Amino acid sequence: MPRYPTVPGADHSETVVSNQPLLMVLYLVLPVLGGGVGYALMRLSDWLLSLPWLPYQGALEWVQSLPQPGVMIALVVLGGLAGLWLAAEISRSQMTVAVGDHAVELRRGADRQQLTRAQVHRVFTDGSDLVLHGAGGQELARERQDLKPARLHRAFLALIHRPALP
């Protein structure tokens, strides 16, 4: 069974389940696509100006009148930065689950919700939600996520088979 990344600590480790490979691809692909859109905008500007229904024709004419190749380079760079921004926004919206010796932590961007091992008695997915219940059946957490259920299952199964440390 493959191990997922663990973070060694003073007296504990945690199994982290995330969409890290997908996010790495997004950080590579989206800036390139954004730069390509910037390049295409300049290359297609004559054709775009021939469309009478296109809004912002004045802005496109102004961009076209600026000196080349500076405008082309600026549009490619701005498109790349827009792609990088979009990748960062997608990254902030992704759920990461860290299952440790003492606690379970749900992370989304800067938001974190930590539940102790003793609090969590039942974990399951409900559609695309990860649900954690306490001893009395009360819902402790419900978070929308798109992590692979098998990876979540293995992380929580490892928690069950790992002895609690003092």
In a domain, 2, yes or no: no
Predicted local distance difference test score (pLDDT) of residue 163: 52
Based on the domain organization, do 88 and 28 belong to the same domain?
yes
The single residue listed with the structure tokens 């003492």 is: 102
Residue with tokens 């992380």: 155
- Can you tell me whether residue 130 is helix, strand or coil? strand
Residue 8 domain flag: no
Which of 47-56, 83-92, 103-112 is the most confident on average? Answer: 83-92
Is this prediction's pTM over 0.85?
no
Point out the domain boundary residue: 92, 119, 138: 92
Range of the domain at 125: 14-18+95-161
| 35 band by pLDDT with thresholds 50, 70 and 90 | very high
Is residue 116 one of the residues assigned to a domain?
yes
Residue 103: CA count within 13 A, CB half-sphere? 9
Q: Within a 10 A sphere around the Cβ of 35, how many other Cβ atoms?
A: 20
Over the range 98-124, which residues count as b (16 or more CB within 10 Å of their CB) and which as e?
bbbbebbebbeeeeeeeeebebbeebe
Looking at residue 68, its pLDDT comes to 85
How would you classify residue 22: left for phi > 0, otherwise alpha for psi between -120 and 50, otherwise beta? alpha
Q: What is the DSSP letter of 6?
A: B
